[in-house]
């Protein structure tokens, strides 16, 4: 896309206010030719797999990445494990924490949160970036635009926000000699071009310092290879032993033409349901012993058991457990309770995936949004995915009642809202007020409690307690409280 008057005006405006420049146009548009693959699984052998892996470890990883892509396309078990792993992260909420309580830091955090929320299909974009644990890296292109919005104080403001984070296929990129990703273009397919600043988010993981060796699909690849060989053998087994054996019998003295016709009829019965033969011949069906069930000890059971073992090993590698995905296999048999204990993804793996993604977002998108709208800062807000288990809130509430209500531990006023995920009331909102309970219901009132006491509840407490509580709170007894006392005194006198 050629430069135009709008991009020149934007660049001039950014220069005038001292903000960094950014490329607004799309530079890594995905075309049909970018989806070309070598389809390396076709005719795959262990020797071929080893050759592809050796080539990838020295930098030529294009065929390996194509192979990884085919694994996900062809194997539903691998695809579901990866999908589960991604959804475990993207299904969690995220937050932006300000660098400090300063007004500027609070305004920056407000802008960053609003900007990230402005991205269309943000969770889908995160799922694309979460290919990194499996392939070693993933790339998303940030599309920027100018937005008329308001700041945290409600004042009008003009900001530059990302409106899309587009996942890009691995075919668009190539590694240089130092394992830095470069963009493949028609003009420069090798060694490729450097990325423009603040344009490409590269989510990458390393193993022993190398991206090329870090993908978790490396070990899965071998299990998949064993699976497809086993499935091929199993299909052949079923072709031979999955149907009854057909035996044609002819009488002594039968002519060669009669024997030929009988043989033809026997073979056709493999697929047809009927045949025409001479009454001088006979066809018997001999059933094969059914030892091929998943619980049997025959050859078919061996195939079934082997495939279940391969799937269990894949689940362990990708999810850290087998129960939620292998119910029905020997190793994965269990109840729903057992699956719940294991969860879908092991907690430490979930936290690691989320933590790696948070680091990438904090070093790229959070910094870029801040720099583009406020200039470079000494400190930046923090993006965090909230993946810690919530725990038992009832137990926590009982602990809080003791520590705060009885021991007197001081906590911020908004602690209950954060701890129990309640929305904080805004100015002008109607709020729910609980009925009297605890010390007040038992006929006791504290100094702070009198400050929120309404007139219609004054009669619940003895006058001396009201007076003592008011003195403790350092306030005078208000007129409505006095009126309540007067009514209570009069009612007490008339009853006597």
Using one digit for the tens of pLDDT, what is the confidence trace for 430-463? Answer: 777 665 544 444 445 444 555 555 555 555 556 6
Longest dimension (CA), the chain: 130
What pLDDT does 379 receive? Answer: 95
Residue 305 lies in a domain: no
Q: Which residue has the higher pLDDT, 166 or 398?
A: 166
Q: Are 120 and 11 in a shared domain? A: yes
What pLDDT does 43 receive? Answer: 77
DSSP state letters, 177-205: TTS-EEE--SS--SS-BPPPTTTEEEEE-
Q: What is the mean pLDDT of the chain?
A: 79
What pLDDT does 441 receive? Answer: 43
**Percent of the chain residues past pLDDT 90, beyond the cut:** 35
Q: Are 397 and 463 in a shared domain? A: no
Please state the φ and ψ torsions of residue 123, each to the nearest 5 degrees.
Answer: -65, -35
Q: Are 121 and 41 in a shared domain? A: yes
What pLDDT does 332 receive? Answer: 47
Q: Are 118 and 141 in a shared domain? A: yes
Instruction: Categorize the per-residue pLDDT at 360 as very low, low, confident or very high, splitting at 50, 70 and 90.
Output: very high
Residue found by looking up tokens 């423009």 in the block: 196
Measured CA distances, 450 to 313, 369, 407, 464 (Å) = 64, 49, 21, 13
| C-alpha span between 486 and 491 (Å, rounded) | 9
What pLDDT does 464 receive? Answer: 63
Those residues whose C-beta lies under 8 Å from the C-beta of residue 275, and which sit 6 or more positions away, are 265, 266, 268, 269, 283
pLDDT tens track for 227-281: 888 777 766 666 666 667 778 888 887 888 888 888 888 777 766 666 666 666 7
Q: Given a cut of 60, is residue 192 above it in pLDDT?
A: yes
Residue found by looking up tokens 């001081």 in the block: 410
Q: Are 55 and 116 in a shared domain? A: yes
Residue 121 lies in a domain: yes
Q: Given a cut of 90, is residue 135 above it in pLDDT?
A: yes
What's the domain count of the chain?
3
Residue 403: DSSP 8-state = I
Q: Given a cut of 50, is residue 340 above it in pLDDT?
A: no
Q: Which segment of 4-18, 36-50, 425-439 scores lowest on mean pLDDT?
A: 4-18
| C-alpha span between 395 and 343 (Å, rounded) | 21
Residue 250 lies in a domain: no
Q: Given a cut of 90, is residue 419 above it in pLDDT?
A: no
Residue 115 lies in a domain: yes
Q: Which segment of 127-141, 193-207, 309-323 scores lowest on mean pLDDT?
A: 309-323
Residue 241 lies in a domain: no
Q: What is the mean pLDDT of residues 66-81?
A: 92
**Percent of the chain residues past pLDDT 70, beyond the cut:** 70
Q: Are 20 and 99 in a shared domain? A: yes
Q: Are 22 and 132 in a shared domain? A: yes
Q: Are 214 and 79 in a shared domain? A: yes
Q: Given a cut of 80, is residue 374 above it in pLDDT?
A: yes
Q: Are 152 and 169 in a shared domain? A: yes
Q: Are 69 and 117 in a shared domain? A: yes
Residue found by looking up tokens 């009829």 in the block: 265
What per-residue string of b and e applies to 381-413 under the rule 16 or more CB within 10 Å gives b? bbbbbebeeeeeeeeeeeebeeeeeeeeeeeee
Q: Which residue has the higher pLDDT, 195 or 485?
A: 195
Q: Which segment of 133-142, 395-404, 482-491 scores lowest on mean pLDDT?
A: 482-491
Residue 232 lies in a domain: no
Instruction: Categorize the per-residue pLDDT at 2 as very low, low, confident or very high, splitting at 50, 70 and 90.
Output: very low
Residue 245 lies in a domain: no
User: Has this prediction a pTM greater than 0.85?
Assistant: no
Q: Given a cut of 70, is residue 341 above it in pLDDT?
A: no
Q: What is the mean pLDDT of residues 420-429?
A: 82
Residue 262 lies in a domain: no
Q: Are 369 and 488 in a shared domain? A: no
Q: Are 188 and 61 in a shared domain? A: yes
**Domain span holding position 475:** 437-496
Kind plus residue range of the DSSP H or E element containing 175: strand 173-175
Chain centroid, CA 285 distance in Å? 54
């Amino acid at each position: 896309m050629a430069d135009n008057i709008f991009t020149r005006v934007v660049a001039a405006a950014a220069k005038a206010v001292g903000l960094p420049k950014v490329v607004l146009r799309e530079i890594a548009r995905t075309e049909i030719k970018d989806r070309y693959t070598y389809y390396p699984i076709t005719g795959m052998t262990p020797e071929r797999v080893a050759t592809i892996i050796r080539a990838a470890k020295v930098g030529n990883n294009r065929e390996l990445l194509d192979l990884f892509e085919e694994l996900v396309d062809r194997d539903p078990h691998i695809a579901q494990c990866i999908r589960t792993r991604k959804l475990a992260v993207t299904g969690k909420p995220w937050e932006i924490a300000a660098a400090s309580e300063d007004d500027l830091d609070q305004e920056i955090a407000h802008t960053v949160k609003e900007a990230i929320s402005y991205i269309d299909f943000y969770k889908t974009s995160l799922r694309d970036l979460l290919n990194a644990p499996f392939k070693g890296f993933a790339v998303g292109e940030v599309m920027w635009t100018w937005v008329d919005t308001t700041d945290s104080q409600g004042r009008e403001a003009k900001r530059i926000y990302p409106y899309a984070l587009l996942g890009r296929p691995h075919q668009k990129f190539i590694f240089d000699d130092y394992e830095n990703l470069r963009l493949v273009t028609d003009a420069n397919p090798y060694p490729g071009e450097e990325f423009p600043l603040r344009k490409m988010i590269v989510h990458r993981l390393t193993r022993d310092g190398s991206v090329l060796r870090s993908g978790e699909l490396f070990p899965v690849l071998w299990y998949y290879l064993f699976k497809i060989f086993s499935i091929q053998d199993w299909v052949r087994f079923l072709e031979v032993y999955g149907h009854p054996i057909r035996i044609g019998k002819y009488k002594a003295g039968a002519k060669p033409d009669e024997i030929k016709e009988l043989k033809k009829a026997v073979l056709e019965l493999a697929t047809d349901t009927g045949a025409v033969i001479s009454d001088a011949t006979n066809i018997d069906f001999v059933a094969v012993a059914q030892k091929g069930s998943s619980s049997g000890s025959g050859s078919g059971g061996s195939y079934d058991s082997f495939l279940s073992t391969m799937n269990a090993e894949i689940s362990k590698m990708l999810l850290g457990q087998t129960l939620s995905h292998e119910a029905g296999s020997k190793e994965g048999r269990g109840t729903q309770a057992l699956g719940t204990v294991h969860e879908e993804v092991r907690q430490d793996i979930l936290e690691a995936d989320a933590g790696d993604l948070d680091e990438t977002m904090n070093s790229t998108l959070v910094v870029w949004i801040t720099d583009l709208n406020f200039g470079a800062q000494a400190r930046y807000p923090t993006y965090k995915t909230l993946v810690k288990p919530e725990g038992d809130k009832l137990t926590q509430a009982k602990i809080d009642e003791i520590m705060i209500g009885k021991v007197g531990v001081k906590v911020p006023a908004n602690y209950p809202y954060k701890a129990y995920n309640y929305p904080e009331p805004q100015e002008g909102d109607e709020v729910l007020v609980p009925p009297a309970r605890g010390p007040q219901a038992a006929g006791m009132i504290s100094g702070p409690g009198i400050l929120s006491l309404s007139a219609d509840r004054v009669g619940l407490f003895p006058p001396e307690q009201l007076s003592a509580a008011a003195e403790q709170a350092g306030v005078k007894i208000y007129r409505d409280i006095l009126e309540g006392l007067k009514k209570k005194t009069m009612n007490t006198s008339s009853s006597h």
